[in-house]
Every structure is written in structure tokens, then in C-alpha cells.
Amino acid sequence: MKYSAERIYVRFWNVDDASLLLDLQVRNRAEIENISASDRDEFFYSLEGQRSLIESWNKKREEGNRYSFGIFLHTTDELVGEISLFEIILDSTPKWILGYVTDTLHQGKGYMSEALQCVMEFAKHETEITRIEAGAVPDNTGSIRVLQKAGFKENGSQPVPIQGTLKEHTMFAVDIL
């Protein structure tokens, strides 16, 4: 499965991508840990840890509650980021959350905006997802711009635990019709 835009394409991960994903995670570790609600230990930052992560993502995809994609350049097949839709249950209500990271070497080039359009097309045509939500810390203007360009509307704020500290996030949502 591959969805394409002008300069990038997105596709599901396979275990052979573990070294690519590890390189992305290690090179962008400080930035990712600054925005991620997930705890990451040293095993996470190993080749076996990334293989396990991809296997977990693929199992969740088969179960229909997570869709994780690598973002690659058409011209070189270089990995420039990762984007995922995952289902969580809050107050007994299932919600589809968007998460993404752009390699710091490729930020500000519009690749994530293209990838988000691909993932929204995937969600519209290949899933039962009708609404996607996302959060961003208020000073992450690049992320907020990506969401707004894709039609996400501000939907309040919510504290999210990041590295053991609650950080206020501006929440966004878009309905997929």
C-alpha cells in the first residue's frame, strides 16, 4: 500500500525498515522526546527495539487500531519522517489521534503537509475513520501550521504527559467525509 503526493509517498512499515527508523529516531531523539507522550528506554533506541516497534505497529494495523507510515522522497526514497493514526479510548469514547515527526534535516519543506494529505486520503477510502484529532504544544508553530493547512480546526486545549510533566496542548480535529 502506497499513497503518493507531489514530492513524497507514504507506505506502511516493514521490519526491513528497522535501521531506517532507528536512524530517524536516534538523530531526532531530543526533539521527539520533547513532544512524545510515550516513554522510551535504551532498548527502544536499538535495532531490535525498532524491529519490535514495527512488528507491534503491524499487528495493530491488522487489528484495525493503528496505521503507521514511513514518509519517503520520490526522488531518492530517503526517509524524511513518520506519521501515524492510532485509536485511543478516552471516557469510553474511541478517538483517532494523529501523530507525526519530520526529520530535523527536512523540516520546513512541506513534506509533512503532503504526507498528511496522503494519510487523510487513506483514512477516507480504506478505513471507517470519520474524525481525526491531534494536539500540539502552542509554541510548535510548524506543527500547528501543518494541521491548519489540512483543514484541522482548533478544538480547545488539554494537558498531555510529556517526560513526566503535564504540558498544555492545543487540540485540533477534522472530520473526514
Prediction pTM value: 0.91
Other beta carbons within 10 Å of 124 = 12
Per-residue pLDDT reduced to its tens digit, 28-86: 887 776 666 566 778 888 999 999 999 999 999 999 999 999 999 999 999 999 999 99
* Topology of the domain covering 2-175: Aminopeptidase (3.40.630)
Q: Domain coordinates of the chain in residue numbers?
A: 2-175
Residues 127-171 pLDDT 10s: 999 999 999 989 899 999 999 999 999 999 988 777 777 888 999
Q: Which of 91, 98, 108, 84 is nearest to 151 (CA)?
A: 98
Distance, CA of 78 to CA of 67 (rounded, Å): 20
